[in-house]
Structure 1
Amino acid sequence: MAAVLLAGLGAGLWRAATFDLPAVAPLAAPGASGPAAQAARPAGGSPPGRCGQADLRADRELRGMWLTTVENIDFPSRPGLSEAQVKKEYLGWLDLAQQQHHNAIFVHVRPSGDAFWPSAYAPWSQWLTGRQDGAGPGWDPMAFMVRTAHERNLEFHAWFNPYRGTQPGPNGPGADFAKLAPDHPLRRHRDWAIAYPDGKRARLYFDPGNPQARRYVEDSMLEAVRKYDVDGVHFDDFFYPYPEGGGNTFHDEASFARRADTSMSLAQWRRDNVNTLVREMSERIKQIKPWVKFGISPFGIWRNKSTDPDGSDTRGLQSYDAIYADTRLWVRKGWLDYVVPQLYWAIGFGKADYAKVLPWWSDLVRGTGVQLWIGQADYRVGERGDWSDPAELDRQLTLNERYAVSGSVHFSAKQVRADRLDAVTRYRDHHYAAPALVPVMRRLPARPPGPPRIAAAHTGPDGELVLDWQPGTGPEPVSWALYRVSGAAAALVATGRAGATVADPHPVDGPATYCLAGLDRSGNEGAASAAFRAEGT
């Protein structure tokens, strides 16, 4: 809540002067109405992109990490933890994201045909509860995770594996229908299920070629979009399963014979099935919530140039042919808002050179409106060869800056926290030293707020400079960006949610000039406030 700065309250406070603004009436709380609130919202502010005479300067890039739940790789640390333990661990990951100046987190909420929320379509995740049954943990993890991420101004991208129905191993049912939860959809609809590969490693998949199964999978994911305030829907690279070799076959012959057009090959039919899922999800998400982003993180090779002249200069597995993922089509059709190719190779690697694959993806997105974010291989740091060099990821992020790259997502959270060889510290200091705003997606709805008003300043309990403010006219801001003037530029020093305290966490000694701008949920920034000068006492 805004407060009036009273004079004479001690040396810990700041004197403040607002430039270019008339006298104002007593302050009202953000969101208040009535005469006082209206009087406290002048239309004046800095020109667009300016703080007084200084240019606003802020990095615009998506910075995030994948928080993996399958097999408890990152979170929760083990199945069956108490509500308090799960919440504590999750908040620890949010702490890490803030320390790294990230602005998004990608949470695995449907790893294997299950759910991290009370779902009418899927059983509770075994990685949360320890067993796949209907008992549940007695609380709603998804609601907590979305709310607390937003409190820290982190975008929450709900990460789904569409087709995977079960997971093998000691904690998973594998391909054993008897071990599925009684209400598991694949237990009730066995004709939807295909087991792959053979033996102990078998898991069940929803048949991508069965329209009923596909619709059910879509509905189960869209349930989360309807129920929760997610910022994005996110898939990784698991569509048709990766080939296992050894004579293993994905047995969808009956489905193909029943449903495929007679002119189509099996490979064409499979690609068409995946394309249909991607297109329908894109359309249905926007019908429900037009502001929710849809993105996919595919394997980093579409096709090799030796196979297709339009392919990349690589010699690796081709996702178009091996898992029937026509990534290039999805981008060209505009079905995605962003694409995050997993470029998990070193610069100079023979079969897939990061420095050669990156330009291919940059060329692909050019002119499409689809943003290019890169999946970064933090998990490889410390491996022999190129990955024993702690500067490898740092060099990759530097290379990203030369191309049309709008951000990076790091795999995975545990490796970001481990900071092997101090590689994370190195790239954070060189590339993430200051906060960043999410890149604007022009295809999403835009309602930028009017210029807010900074009214007063005081020192917070930890030495931060706290600024009291009022929103301007027009749409209410979803988040804010705080700028501090240094020379001819006003640099971004902090961001936050609209309901959070506005503060410069590391104020300079002596006088400083600030501007505050509001943003809508798509990252569109309104005009900044009038320049506000805070003077130390």
Structure 2
Amino acid sequence: MRRPPVRPAVVIVVAIFLAVSVLGIGLLRAATYDPPGAGSKAPPGAAQVGPAAGTPGRCAGVPVSATKELRGMWLTTVMNIDWPSRPGLSKEKVQAEYRAWLDLAVSMRHNAIFVHVRPSGDAFWESAYAPWSEWLTGKRDGRSPGWDPMEFMITEAHARNLEFHAWFNPYRGTQPAPSGPGADFKKLAPNHPLIKHRDWAISYPDGKNARLYFDPGIPAARKFVEDAMLEAVQKYDVDGVHFDDFFYPYPEGGGNDFADDASFAKRADKSQSRGDWRRANVDTLVREMNQRIKQLKPWVKFGISPFGIWRNQETDRAGSDTHGLQSYDAIYADTRKWVREGWLDYIVPQLYWAIGFDKADYTKALPWWSNLVKGTRVQLYIGQGDYRVGEKGPWKQPDQIDRQLTLNDKYGVLGSVHFSAKQIRADRLGSVTRYRDNHYSAPALLPPMAQLPARPPAAPRLVAARRTSAGAVELDWQAGTGPEPASWALYRVEGAAAKLVATGRAGTKVQDPAPPPDAAQYCLSGLDRSGNESPISAPSGVT
């Protein structure tokens, strides 16, 4: 997901595949409820569609106050950019590293994590469709590591009340040599699907940067990659399915093109240009994935993090006031259509450009995306370019992302995802600390989505409150009658409002980790799987 700064539309994109592999990593470029399937359990609050809960009310006579926004980071596995730190580590080391990343997310007051579970035709779970990822096992033989990383990852995230978004690259089949097998079939895992289906494989570009792709123009290949991703949704309790911006590859130049002549010749609509046909292929993947996810588990969110420019205004009056690569034309991603058709629950454009950057000014790209989602049910989050902090120019300013988050608030953005985890930990120039203190100083609830199943619980009841020897306040509570909550939100009265001070998964202790030394009043609410909040409890206090 990483990308180099924006490039002019006429400039050829040069692959910086290390970073790019990541999020697709698109970051680097200027750039009816059905019962749950086998191996899954219906989550609390996901069993019926109904009206969302309204505002939770008042606590001890004052209104409750909570920020509702998604805060997350991308945890990249390809080429071990973030995690695991290197391939072939022991189970214990891999797990310890992952827990540390989640603890970092909690310390940042995040409420979601986006984990790269299908970087390139592989899998971080036991899959009938893909070999085990070599970035985990350290081997390209497709053999199991002997444990279930996906189950572990989700369980640990949920224990910390973090949403788990499984991040997939649909069409990438391999990574370039020497880190990956490149386009050499002899170097693939024995059970790699492109060995059996060589007619699905396209090598692009020429030379050392070559990798194999599943051809998006072959319906059977598209169905296969959909099935491969939906297998994870079926087997595991994921909260979201997430794509980045890698569908058709970014143009590499040198006169070579993506060699899909054979599938293009077989297209049904002979009047289509190749560009329109390629866009239709990507549209079909997005539309079908949305439909199939909702048929399987209607509470699972579906979102995409595209390149930050749909089209430039100079090309299309409906485009943004930018002058960079156009995803509609260069990589055949009609992101505007996906939003307008409602095929997504959320969209996370990668706005990895500084305020004032001439080819793609953050202050000009952001309003375009804000306007696009108006009147739709698609929530807008922004992909923030933490990896760029410290680069020359405006990125030498430690408040660059802090200022961008302020603009996000102005334009009604409902959250941010930061690329990537390693950059958050590095905290270059103190940038992360600055925006955490200014924008993430208190916990936040996830913004509910009206299109998802809603079954808000009844108001819980606080039955006791006490101070612990560790200095926290611990509260005992009981759920109300009716639907069981999936999580809880704790409010503490502070002057004219009761502010959100802690959240947690149902079944975990309700605690205020940093209470005031004098008397305090608390109220509690419960939330369903989709973030719909119950009425507030009656207050309970400590002296």
TM-score, normalisation: structure 1: 0.90
Could you say which residue in structure 1 is the equivalent of 2:57? 49
Deviation at 1:461, TM superposition (A): 4.4
1:195-224 deviations in whole A, cap 9, x for unaligned?
A: 001112110000000000000000000000
Residue 423 (structure 1) aligned to one of 422, 425, 431: 431
Could you say which residue in structure 1 is the equivalent of 2:88? 80
Larger radius of gyration: 1
Q: Distance in 2 between matches of 1:487 and 1:67?
A: 39
Residue 251 (structure 1) aligned to one of 242, 259, 263: 259
Corresponding pairs, count: 490
Residue 399 (structure 1) aligned to one of 390, 403, 407: 407
1:295-331 deviations in whole A, cap 9, x for unaligned?
A: 0000000000000000000000000000000000000
1:73-118 deviations in whole A, cap 9, x for unaligned?
A: 0000000000000000000000100000000000000000100001
TM-score, normalisation: structure 2: 0.89
Q: Distance in 2 between matches of 1:169 and 1:251?
A: 20
Residue 492 (structure 1) aligned to one of 480, 485, 500: 500
Residue 504 (structure 1) aligned to one of 493, 499, 512: 512
| Partner SS, residue 498 of structure 2 | strand
Matched, 1:436 2:463: no
Q: Distance in 1 between matches of 2:268 and 2:346?
A: 30
Deviation at 1:459, TM superposition (A): 2.6
| Partner SS, residue 441 of structure 1 | coil
Could you say which residue in structure 1 is the equivalent of 2:208? 200
Q: Distance in 2 between matches of 1:532 and 1:524?
A: 23
| Partner SS, residue 451 of structure 1 | coil
Q: Distance in 2 between matches of 1:507 and 1:145?
A: 31
Could you say which residue in structure 2 is the equivalent of 1:295? 303
| Partner SS, residue 381 of structure 2 | strand
Any gaps of 5 or more consecutive residues in structure 1? 1-45
| Partner SS, residue 456 of structure 1 | strand
Deviation at 1:260, TM superposition (A): 4.3
Q: Does the 8 Å CA contact 1:448/1:524 hold for their aligned counterparts?
A: yes
Matched, 1:370 2:371: no
Q: Does the 8 Å CA contact 1:130/1:171 hold for their aligned counterparts?
A: no
Query: Relative to structure 2, which stretch is displaced further, 289-298 or 448-457?
Result: 448-457
* Distance change (3 Å), C-alpha of 1:137 and 1:303: same
Could you say which residue in structure 2 is the equivalent of 1:336? 344
Could you say which residue in structure 2 is the equivalent of 1:272? 280
Could you say which residue in structure 1 is the equivalent of 2:191? 183
Residue 142 (structure 1) aligned to one of 137, 150, 157: 150
Q: Distance in 1 between matches of 2:349 and 2:163?
A: 19
Matched, 1:130 2:131: no
Matched, 1:323 2:331: yes
1:462-520 deviations in whole A, cap 9, x for unaligned?
A: 21111011111110000000000112210000000001110000011121100000000
> Letter of the aligned partner of 1:338 in structure 2?
Y
Q: Does the 8 Å CA contact 2:60/2:521 hold for their aligned counterparts?
A: no
> Letter of the aligned partner of 1:323 in structure 2?
I
Could you say which residue in structure 1 is the equivalent of 2:421? 413
1:43-77 deviations in whole A, cap 9, x for unaligned?
A: xxx99321131101000000000000011000000
| Partner SS, residue 350 of structure 2 | coil
Could you say which residue in structure 2 is the equivalent of 1:34? none
Q: Distance in 2 between matches of 1:365 and 1:510?
A: 45
> Letter of the aligned partner of 1:365 in structure 2?
V
> Letter of the aligned partner of 1:258 in structure 2?
K
- CA RMSD in angstroms comes to 1.0
Matched, 1:304 2:307: no
Q: Does the 8 Å CA contact 1:435/1:495 hold for their aligned counterparts?
A: yes
Deviation at 1:133, TM superposition (A): 2.0
| Partner SS, residue 511 of structure 2 | strand
Deviation at 1:132, TM superposition (A): 2.3
Residue 388 (structure 2) aligned to one of 380, 387, 401: 380
1:399-457 deviations in whole A, cap 9, x for unaligned?
A: 10111200000000000000000000000000000000001111101111111111112
> Letter of the aligned partner of 1:332 in structure 2?
R
Q: Does the 8 Å CA contact 1:482/1:514 hold for their aligned counterparts?
A: yes
